[in-house]
Amino acid sequence: MTCITGFPGFLFLLLSPCAYREFIYRDFKSGYLADEMTMISKAGYVQQNGFAALDDNGMPNQIAELNIHGTKYGIRMEELKEALYGRHPARVERVFQNWQQYLGGIAGLARISRSGKALNIELVEGGRYTVALDSLVSALSRRGVYASVGEIPEPASAWDIRGRKIAQGQQTIPVHAT
């Protein structure tokens, strides 16, 4: 007998479509597939403001304002265009306000996704974020007001049993009870 999503075929015949969906959803929600499911939550927005930010040389640069969890970052428009074409990653820089906007140090990188449908942002401080390319282009071309930024959750393998984060390259020491 054939299997449908890991269940015997006769189960599909015994249950109504509505009951079958509820059975699958209950098992999906509480069962073995719940750990593999990832949810992207909203973390902020991207918009193009009309103000130029000064870099460390005092030159004004048009930026795309990136607001993540209340922290303001900026991506230079020239670098963002290069990143959207897939040539080079764009620098994400902190933006400070003191009578004018100033670009601080590099806070991360933004590059196009493998599928070409999103811009992935990886911050040095930790955290990975994504923006849909369609909404980003509409926000930058002023057809839309802003584009939503979603936070990509870290994989479960990055955390140990006690809920502490394991850094890349960090070794774990096995403990044996005597």
Q: Is the pLDDT of residue 156 over 80?
A: no
What is the residue extent of each domain of the chain? 7-34, 41-154
Q: Which pTM does this prediction carry?
A: 0.65
**140 three-class SS:** helix
Residue 85 tokens read as 């074409």
Reported as a pLDDT band with limits 50, 70 and 90, residue 62 is very high
Q: Name the 3-class secondary structure at 7.
A: strand
pLDDT at 164: 57
Q: What is the pLDDT of residue 35?
A: 42
Q: Is the model's pLDDT at 129 over the cut of 90? A: yes
* Separation of alpha carbons 43 and 154, rounded Å: 14
Helix (H, G, I), strand (E, B) or coil at 55: coil
In whole angstroms, give the CA distance from residue 33 to residue 163.
20
**87: pLDDT strictly greater than 70:** yes
Tokens of 57: 């040389």
